């Protein structure tokens, strides 16, 4: 019998891995083992838990692991799954379990490999694993058995508890409409079914299951291309899928990543809102723990697929008559926008965030035909213009909000080129919203910044023009920094908002 020893300092690694997640370790173990099963494209996932023996077993009939995947499954030094390749990591559920487990038994069978392991702590307190033969699998698939330490408290004990965890983390996979969509996308079979302690969880219609009212169903599109789908609705009760969980469940490949309100504030109905938005392309923006999204380096690309969902949510709130009214276009907002424009070239992050093109030298022809360079924000000339008269040159015009029409280069035909309007207001967009219930100084909404005029520190300085202006610029900087830093840093960056709120109340 071959004995393998897990490499690197596993004790620190399993602790670090667990701390990446915002929920209990035993919950992480189950959620991540299911994620690995889903990546194997099964149509059946069986979950069983013995609360007396504290043994969790997850079995799928997916494609199973090949030899290389089986080796990485046990290797703490191996890299986590490549972003975008799946909703789980290679064996992270089993690895994290050793924070609270004494043994993990794994079996797998695929077309070209079959194997198993008994993974445990030896007498030296070293993490080792032995080769075992798979005896529980009748076909292709993987079986993971986690034996939790007897003294550990597990956050679930019954079939009902585990079903609630499925609702929190994989709710779209319990809806027949979404399963049809996943099959269409090639992710999972629409016959995918979970079985908990022998009880099949039959997919149905979540809108009916949760008795939702004022429902809005939709397909998300980007440049005419379908990129996702979803629904919003109002539950007759608060927190319909569990304590402290409400809002729109933002999902990718069937996994719930976060509950979101898209920076809207429907306070009077917030706890009754239940929605699901599935956007497969969001898988490319998952952070390391795959429990939130990273937008820092590809903000514009992220917004292009996230914003359609935000607009649907705004439209739905508007139809209910509760869309918050932002004060836009005020003198204060315009002055702040001008201040930001002045420093764009000194702070390139601002240009990237607001989608600007920085100024550069561009060749321009004068009336005498002489070429000279001018320093101009990125722009383009449009020729010919004025009903096909190419002799008139309007110079460089800014890019507008609407596309022009490309004309054929062929000489024949009676359609003349028409002037393309390039007039648009470019620049940062600032607005104000009195959100007294929020501690945030300001926040990001698309490419806009919303300043909280109900924040205690804003109220304290609003009568002093200079102090108010400095406060607003500080709030804008804090909002952009928090947004671009991603979810990993939000709790630390929120300290500024709390401190300023405390100051404002004194």
Q: What is the pLDDT of residue 380?
A: 40
* Domains along the sequence of the chain with CATH: 3-157 (3.30.565.10), 164-319 (3.30.230), 357-426 (no CATH), 427-505 (no CATH)
Nearest Cα neighbor of 299 from 352, 257, 225, 224 is 352
Residues 446 and 326 sit within 8 Å (Cβ to Cβ): no
CB proximity list for 92: less than 8 A, separation 6 or greater: 17, 32, 36, 80
- Which structure tokens are listed for 207? 């809108």
Q: What is the pLDDT of residue 41?
A: 94
| The dihedral formed by the CA atoms of 474, 476, 481 and 483, expressed in degrees to the nearest 10 | 150
Residues 446 and 482 sit within 8 Å (Cβ to Cβ): no
- The pTM score is 0.71
Nearest Cα neighbor of 403 from 429, 421, 416, 417 is 421
Q: What is the pLDDT of residue 398?
A: 42
Nearest Cα neighbor of 213 from 239, 241, 237, 234 is 234
Residues 125 and 85 sit within 8 Å (Cβ to Cβ): no
Residue at token pair 């703490």: 76
Q: How far apart are CA 325 and CA 450, in angstroms?
A: 11
Q: Which ranges of 186-330 does DSSP label H, i.e. alpha helix? A: 206-209, 299-319
CA 246 vs CA 238, 286, 456: distances in Å: 8, 21, 27
Residue 262 — pLDDT band, cuts 50, 70, 90? Answer: confident
Residue 313 has pLDDT above 90, yes or no: yes
Q: What is the pLDDT of residue 324?
A: 55
Residue 250 — pLDDT band, cuts 50, 70, 90? Answer: very high
Average pLDDT over residues 219-234: 94
Lowest mean pLDDT among 68-72, 402-406, 500-504: 402-406
Nearest Cα neighbor of 426 from 406, 450, 397, 452 is 397
Q: How far apart are CA 424 and CA 462, in angstroms?
A: 31
Q: What is the pLDDT of residue 342?
A: 78
Tell me if residue 426 falls in helix, strand or coil: coil
Residue 49 has pLDDT above 50, yes or no: yes
CB proximity list for 270: less than 8 A, separation 6 or greater: 246, 247, 261
Q: Which ranges of 320-401 does DSSP label H, i.e. alpha helix? A: 331-342, 348-354
The overall average pLDDT reported for the chain is: 80
Q: How far apart are CA 452 and CA 432, in angstroms?
A: 6
- Name the more confident of 498 and 375: 498
CA 25 vs CA 51, 80, 97, 147, 492: distances in Å: 16, 18, 7, 14, 22
Q: How far apart are CA 173 and CA 255, in angstroms?
A: 8
Lowest mean pLDDT among 50-64, 71-85, 227-241, 460-474: 71-85
Residue 396 — pLDDT band, cuts 50, 70, 90? Answer: very low
């Amino acid at each position: 019998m071959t004995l393998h020893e897990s490499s690197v300092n596993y004790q620190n690694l399993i602790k670090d891995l667990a701390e990446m997640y915002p929920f209990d370790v035993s919950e992480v173990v189950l959620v991540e083992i299911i994620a690995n099963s889903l990546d194997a494209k099964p149509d059946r996932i069986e979950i069983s838990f013995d609360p007396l023996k504290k043994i969790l077993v997850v079995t799928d009939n997916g494609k199973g692991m090949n030899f290389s995947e089986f080796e990485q499954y046990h290797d703490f030094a191996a890299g986590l799954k490549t972003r975008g390749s799946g909703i789980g990591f290679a064996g992270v559920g089993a690895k994290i379990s050793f924070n609270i487990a004494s043994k993990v038994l794994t079996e797998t069978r695929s077309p070209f490999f079959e194997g198993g392991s008994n993974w445990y702590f030896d007498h030296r307190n070293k993490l080792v694993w032995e080769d075992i033969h798979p005896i529980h699998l009748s076909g292709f698939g993987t079986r993971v058995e986690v034996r939790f330490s007897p003294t550990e408290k597990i956050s679930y004990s019954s079939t009902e508890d585990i079903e609630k965890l499925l609702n929190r983390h994989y709710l779209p996979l319990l809806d027949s409409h979404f399963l049809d969509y996943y099959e269409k996308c090639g992710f999972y079979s629409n016959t995918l079914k979970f079985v908990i302690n022998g009880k099949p969880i039959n997919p149905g219609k979540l809108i009916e299951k949760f008795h939702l009212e004022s429902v809005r169903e939709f397909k998300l599109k980007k440049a005419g291309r379908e990129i996702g789908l979803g629904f919003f609705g109002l539950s007759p009760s608060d927190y319909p899928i569990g304590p402290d969980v409400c809002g729109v469940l933002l999902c990718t490949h069937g996994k719930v990543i976060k509950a979101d309100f898209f920076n809207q504030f429907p306070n009077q109905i917030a706890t009754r809102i239940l929605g699901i938005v599935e956007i497969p392309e969001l898988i490319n923006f998952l952070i390391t723990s795959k429990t939130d999204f990273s937008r820092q380096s590809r903000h514009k690309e992220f917004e292009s697929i996230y914003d359609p969902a935000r607009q649907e949510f705004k439209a739905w709130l508007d139809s209910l008559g509760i869309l918050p009214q932002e004060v836009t276009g005020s003198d204060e907002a315009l002055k702040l926008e001008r201040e930001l424009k002045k420093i764009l070239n000194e702070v390139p992050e601002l240009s990237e965030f607001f989608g600007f093109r920085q100024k550069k030298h561009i060749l321009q022809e004068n009336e005498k035909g002489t070429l000279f360079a001018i320093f101009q924000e990125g722009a383009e000339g449009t020729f010919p213009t004025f009903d096909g008269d190419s002799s008139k040159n309007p110079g460089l015009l800014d890019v507008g909000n609407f596309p022009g029409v490309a004309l054929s280069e062929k000489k024949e035909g009676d359609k003349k080129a028409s002037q393309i309007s390039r007039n648009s207001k470019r620049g940062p967009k600032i607005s104000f919203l009195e959100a007294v219930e929020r501690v945030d100084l300001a926040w990001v909404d698309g490419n806009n910044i919303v300043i909280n005029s109900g924040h205690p520190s804003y109220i304290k300085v609003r009568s002093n023009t200079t102090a108010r202006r400095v406060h607003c610029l500080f709030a804008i900087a804090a909002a952009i920094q928090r947004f671009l830093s991603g979810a990993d840093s939000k709790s630390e960056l929120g300290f500024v908002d709390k401190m300023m709120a405390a100051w404002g109340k004194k």
